[in-house]
Each structure stands twice: as C-alpha cells, then as structure tokens.
A and B are shown apart, each in its own frame.
Chain A
Amino acid sequence: EAAVTQSPRNKVTVTGGNVTLSCRQTNSHNYMYWYRQDTGHGLRLIHYSYGAGNLQIGDVPDGYKATRTTQEDFFLLLELASPSQTSLYFCASSDGGENTLYFGAGTRLSVL
C-alpha cells in the first residue's frame, strides 16, 4: 500500500504565526493533494500538484501557500495563521490512473 507520511502530527501556534506542514510520499506518485477536514464541511481541497514545481488551486486556497519541491515532497505553508485555520489537515497522493487517493494520518493544527 502507498505510504504517505505527514509531519508534524500535532501543531499549536498563535495567531499571526508561521506554520509549515510537510508531506512525503514514497511511491513515485505524480499527484499530491492537501485537504482540510472540519466537522460539517467534510474534506475540502486546498491545493494540489501534478509534479515538482507544479501547483493547482483548490476550492479553499485563501491563506494557504503550497510548494512541491520534488516528486516526493509537498508542503503547505500558513504565513499568517488565523484561528479559522484550526483544522485537521490531510495530505494524499495518487498515480493518476484510476486516481485512487492514498492519505496520510493527518496533522492536527490549532491556532490560538
């Protein structure tokens, strides 16, 4: 099964702080995704990428930047964190064929 590793697993920051969430996949997948999960909203797509250097905008991109540095690594950046960004964040990857997504274990972020 595809391996997607997220770090950190938990993060607490203050309003206005900088946060970087990391995701690494080791299955040579071309596609990587960042979602946030909130009660009542399900999973919402923030950004996704076709490959190194590529970035596509999702449905809830405001306040988030993302960067795909290599095929394996996809980062989500919150440069001025706000309490509304308190959430559970998931990274996922896929090979683009049937495009089944393989998810990491998630990062729980609290912005105080």
Chain B
Amino acid sequence: QQKVQQSPESLSVPEGGMASLNCTSSDRNFQYFWWYRQHSGEGPKALMSIFSDGDKKEGRFTAHLNKASLHVSLHIRDSQPSDSALYFCASGTNAYKVIFGKGTHLHVLP
C-alpha cells in the first residue's frame, strides 16, 4: 500500500485562481512533510516543509498540517502559468527515510 497518498491526480485551475492539493500518510512513523515541485525535464525542488500542526505560509503558498490525521494540504493562491508542474508530497521518519507520493499534475490555464 502506498504510504503517502496524494489527490487529485490532476488539477486544472485558471490563471489567478486557487489550487488545492492534498496528501495523507498511512503510517504513523511518517510524521514530517514536505512539498516538492518538478517542472518537465528537471529534478524535483523543495517548496516548503511543515512539521507542526497548523498553517505555514511562504508567499503565495500555504501548507496546512493535521498531525492527528496525518493529512497535509498545499494551497497556491493567484496561480500562475509557471506554477504548472508535477507536485509531490513527501513524508519522513525520525530515521531520515523519505517517501514520496505519486504526485499531482497542476495545469494553470492562461
């Protein structure tokens, strides 16, 4: 079973709109979360980490973590065409094992 599950698989939003991505871990050993973004032809790059309950905001990006349910979300406001990419949720253990989900394809339509 996939230990890190992401939804939706694909998401289209208009330019300037809000994109919301979801991620859940099914293993309580995995309690640390990151969001990564991968543009076509490149390696993934970290967007932000979140380790504590609540919200974390970095510019247009806001992550929300609920540790009780092991659910994390990423919200992108004022989406831009350059935000079109594959977004990965990653979760890690105290022993530095880091597992990724299958990813969400985000398409921002001009």
Contacts from A to B (Cβ < 8 Å): 4, 31, 33, 35, 40-45, 48, 50, 56, 58-59, 90, 92, 94, 96, 98-106
Task: Judge whether A59 and B99 touch: CB under 8 Å.
Answer: yes
Task: Judge whether A106 and B43 touch: CB under 8 Å.
Answer: yes
B49 at the A/B interface (Cβ < 8 Å)? yes
B105 to chain A, nearest CB (A): 11
A24 to chain B, nearest CB (A): 14
Task: Judge whether A41 and B49 touch: CB under 8 Å.
Answer: no
Interface size for chain B: under 10, 10 to 19, 20 to 34, or 35 or more residues? 20 to 34
Contacts of B36 in A (CB 8 A): 101
Contacts of B42 in A (CB 8 A): 105
> Closest chain B residue to A91 by CB distance?
B43
* 3 nearest A-B pairs in the assembled complex, by CB-CB distance: A103-B43, A42-B102, A43-B100
Q: A48-B96, A99-B92 are in contact. Are A40 and B102 (CB under 8 A)?
A: yes
Could you say which of B6, B34, B95, B100 contacts A100, with CB atoms under 8 Å apart? B34
B65 to chain A, nearest CB (A): 14
A56 to B92, CA, bound (A): 14
